[in-house]
């Protein structure tokens, strides 16, 4: 299992467009992917789950990856977050 805590960097937070892209990206991998904020954990492959986090600018989110391709999944998804969802 890989676990990493990140901070939302883009000013608009995790709104509909990046949430949709994130779910599509995560769904390419076989590994389980979960996101946790303030003790609330959701499936990162669920658009409803991702939107329910209400992750605004500056939010701390813990990303969890578990499975056969967890390293590749974590690298791709962490890059997406680091680049501010392509909106910076």
Query: Active-site residue among 2, 12, 15, 66?
Result: 15
For residues 38 and 20, the answer to whether their CB atoms sit within 8 Å is no
Our answer to whether residue 15 is catalytic in this structure is yes
Cβ neighbours for 36, distance < 8 A, ≥ 6 positions apart:
42, 61, 62, 64
User: Quick one: how many helices (H) and strands (E) in the chain?
Assistant: 3, 4
Helices within 1-88 (DSSP H only): 16-26, 47-52, 70-82
Q: Which sequence positions are flagged as catalytic?
A: 15
């Amino acid at each position: 299992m890989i676990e990493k805590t990140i901070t939302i960097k883009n000013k608009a937070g995790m709104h509909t467009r990046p949430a949709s892209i994130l779910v599509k990206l995560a769904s390419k991998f076989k590994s389980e992917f979960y996101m946790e904020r303030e003790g609330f954990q959701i499936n990162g492959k669920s658009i409803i789950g991702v939107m329910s986090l209400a992750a605004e600018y500056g939010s701390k989110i813990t990303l969890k990856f578990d499975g056969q391709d967890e390293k590749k999944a974590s690298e791709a998804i962490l890059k997406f977050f680091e680049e501010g969802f392509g909106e910076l």
